[in-house]
Structure 1
Amino acid sequence: MKKTSGVISTVIVVLLLFAIGQRPGTFRVERSATIHAPADVVFALVNDFRYWEQWSPWWKLEPTQQVSLAGAASGVGAIYEWRGERTGSGRMEIMESRPPAYVRIRLDFTAPMRATNTTEYLLTPTADGVKLTWVMSGENTFAGKALQLFASMDEVMGRDFERGLADIKSVAEASRGSSAPSVGEAGFHGDALTRDAALDVVVTREPLFPRE
């Protein structure tokens, strides 16, 4: 009986490993939204991390996470680090910024698993606004492939992208007629430690992770 159970367990493990191995080596998640607002208003929301509190789906997911801003105020060299129980931890840095059409971000996850992905925001003019396309792409790690046996990356991340785009649309369209959206009273003034009044997110200019 024990021998039979062992054989069954081995077969299950082999089948699981085979299934994981058959997953694609790379992934790409893409969502778009049409926003009735000037391109420079929409661009500012994704090009300046100080505005992310107004629309980021992960900011809203965990009110007690820590967020650190460093480097440039916006555009190339701007750095955003986070650490939380539900959101894990990681670091984003804007690597390319072409106003008001394109932003490319290097996204490094450090927990619960390590991975490096690329996030892109592409803005295409429309008759009365802009089409914003949000893309994330990268290599599928072994852990990532295993998780995708139960839910696809496109399904999981796609829902977050859709929520984020809906909030960007809401904020940008509420700012029509302005050159840029306003930064909330509780967010990112100076270099001192501050606390978001609505969500109680700790925000600081001190790095969360030591530099290697």
Structure 2
Amino acid sequence: MKKTPGVLLAVIVLGLFVAISRRPDTFRVERTAHIQAPAELVFTLVNDFRYWEQWSPWWKLEPTQQVSLTGAAWGVGAVYEWRGRRTGSGRMEIVESRPYEYVRIRLDFLEPMRATNTTEYVLTPAPGGVALTWVMAGENTFAGKALQLFSSMDEVMGRDFERGLADIKLVAESLRGAARPSVGDAGFRGDSDSRDAALEVVVTRQHPNHE
């Protein structure tokens, strides 16, 4: 008996549903770079959102996105919110910070799909500098599992991590001979207003004094 188009379609849909549901319930993407620069310099680049424009692969993807920095000036309580046509929208908040060792961020994607993940930056001593490990982990939503049928999360996000780490390495190593910054020092590339104007990025800052 010949199968009707409706039956064939149902079989295909069921097959896709089964394939998607069998994808892992969680994901983890991890990359490491060895950086010939002081730990305090590398730490500041990730612990203070004001410096992310210098190395974030997503800022470079869409430098005209709208960014709002609120909460603490740096470290725990610092909040970074973004909205763009290519990068969607979302929110990051630093929830744990140990000077020169570790930064943990809660990452909430709002558009084009909702998801909550954890991002970590781990610094470990290495000859001549530090090894910086960038990790993102979270639960796989059904939509996320569906996308992974066509491309690997590790492959797609891993490329972004590699680009970001390469730029952190470039910035940190170019500054290693300069005076070492303290946590929250904002003196790498001039005042923030001039940087924002040059990049045509709308940035709103509401930084109270950090204790």
The TM-score with structure 1 as length reference comes to: 0.90
Identity over aligned pairs, percent: 74
Work out the CA distance in 2 between the residues paired with 1:146 and 1:137.
Answer: 17
Partner of residue 115, structure 1:
115
- Distance change >3 Å, CA 163–CA 13, structure 1 → 2: same
In structure 1, C-alpha distance between the alignment counterparts of 2:188 and 2:75, rounded to whole Å: 16
Counterpart for residue 85 of structure 1 = 85
- Sort the Cα spacing of 1:78 and 1:15 in 2 relative to 1 into closer, same or farther, 3 A: same
Structure 2 distance, partners of 1:62, 1:97, is 27
The reply to whether residue 185 of structure 1 matches residue 186 of structure 2 is no
Number of the residue aligned with 1:195: 196
Instruction: Give the alignment's Cα RMSD to 1 decimal.
Output: 1.9
Relative to 1, partners in 2 of residues 1:166 and 1:10: Cα closer, same or farther, differing over 3 Å?
Answer: same
Aligned residue identity for 2:196: R
- Match of 2:113, SS? coil
Give yes or no for contact 1:196–1:203 (8 Å, CA) kept in 2. no
Q: Distance in 2 between matches of 1:9 and 1:64?
A: 43
The two structures have a TM-score, normalised by structure 2, of 0.90
Structure 2 counterparts to residues 56-75 of structure 1, below 5 A: 56-75=56-75
Q: What SS does the aligned partner of 2:192 have? A: coil
Distance in structure 1 (CA, Å) of the matches to 2:67 and 2:125: 32
Cα offset, 1:195, TM superposition: 3.4
Quote the offset at 1:205 in angstroms.
2.3
Distance, in Å, in 2 between the alignment partners of 1:95 and 1:154 is 24
- Structure 1, unpaired ranges of 5+: 207-212
Q: Give 1:204 deviation, angstroms.
A: 1.3
Shift of 1:63: 2.2
Preserved CA contact (<8 Å) 1:186 1:195: no
- Deviation readout 1:57-109 (Å, 9 max, x if unpaired): 00010122100000111000000000001000000000000010000000000
Structure-2 residue corresponding to 1:129: 129
Aligned partner of 2:209 in structure 1 is none
State the partner residue of 2:99: 99
**Partner AA of 2:30 in structure 1:** E
Alignment match, 2:145:
145
Q: Contact 1:31/1:133 (CA < 8 Å) preserved in 2? A: yes
Residues 89-144 of structure 1, C-alpha deviation per residue, up to 9 Å, x if partnerless?
Answer: 00000000001000000000000000000000000001200000000000000110
Gaps of 5+ in 2: 207-211
SS at match of 2:107: strand
Greater Cα offset, 138-147 or 175-184: 175-184
Provide the rounded CA distance (Å) in 2 between the counterparts of 1:8 and 1:106.
43
Q: C-alpha separation between the residues in 1 aligned to 2:169 and 2:90?
A: 26
Equivalents in 2 of 1:50, 1:120: separation in Å? 18
The runs of at least 4 aligned residues of structure 1 exceeding 6 Å deviation read: none
Residues 145-166 of structure 1 deviation map (CA, whole Å, 9 limit, x = unaligned): 0000000110110000000000
